[in-house]
Structure 1
Amino acid sequence: MYGSYAHAASNTSAAMNGSVTDTQNLLGSQSAKISDEIASTQQQTGVHVRLLFLADFNDAKDPDRWVADVLESTQPKANTVMLAVASNDGRLVVAVSKNSDRWLQEQKNVDALSQAALQPLQNSGSPDWAGCAIGFMEKIKSIHHDRQVIRRTVVIVLCVLLLVLACVVSCLVFVHHSRKNSHARHGRVRRGRAPASR
């Protein structure tokens, strides 16, 4: 079973050309815009996008595995994500390369990407194939942006905590030295007094 998946995936990957494979010309005049969006996504997020628009998933019983095999058979760069759309089947699959960062492989993010790509296909009377691809890439940017904001916030919070800790330590050291010097002065005064005359 797995051998047939791998063989079919290998045949499909051999027919792929560049970042976009559109066997039915579903993207039409939007192809140039899609290519620009792919370049923009890679530049802003470091994520490499592969788009695969087909009539069907080659009668695969497990489209998720089939698309994953197609992606891996291309020997993808790190952080490569593939959106595969089967127009006749009315299905799409998002696959993430095995050498991708953990945030890309998180199931919640994969689900979010799938939903972002699916929405333009359901909202209008006729499927918006270009909108499907653009929505997919815009979601990649959005997830990456949110992740960067969280990371910066964590760094800022840690820096503030370290600064507060440094201030507390400095205050404690200052108080300790002040008390030590005060005790030393009182000791010298007591030792310097003359005995009282009777």
Structure 2
Amino acid sequence: MGDGMGDGMSDRGWTVHGSTYPLADRWIRVRADDCTTESGVPVTPYYVLEYPDFVHVLAEDEAGRIVLVRQYRHGSASPSLELPGGVMDPEDADILAAASRELPEETGYLGGRLEPVVSLSVDPARYTNRTHLVRAVGVRPGPAAPEADEAIEVVRVSRAEATRLALSGAILNAGHAGLLLIGLSRG
């Protein structure tokens, strides 16, 4: 009996015969691959979304409260309660550098001890990027500097309330809810 992991499957993947980009701009690149599965079935086109990596920060202030942000999200046409963070910039040396840039930009919170927690794919079937969770413990308030198109409200909650928000659906973004729960379970 197998363990269900990899039974009847190999890690070889699909053969890509060619790719085109029907859409490519500063926000997203849509790649259309002409593929054949391992068993010879053609899958044409198969669309893959190429995004840069994201970094999200589970920040805990000196009082032990979790720092979240609330901002309008156009896709859902509603405000969304989330972890602070954003796209990794090309000049970011690594995920810790990106986290230490994004946290004060969005929230004004500074300092603290930073540690990487986990790197996951939001949707490995369609997305090329990873989302990274960094934990920041002992952050202190300072001046925020959000992007011109961001209107961000900083929300501080207890660890118990953060867990309740993630489990209740009050945090709409499934990736953020999952990352929050992972981060809270680690410390």
- Give the TM-score taking structure 2 as reference length: 0.25
Look at both structures and tell me which one has the larger radius of gyration over its CA atoms. 1
Q: TM-score when scaled to structure 1? A: 0.24
1 or 2, which has the higher strand percentage? 2
Q: Which has the higher helix share?
A: 1
Q: Which has the higher contact order (CA 8 A, sep 6+)?
A: 2
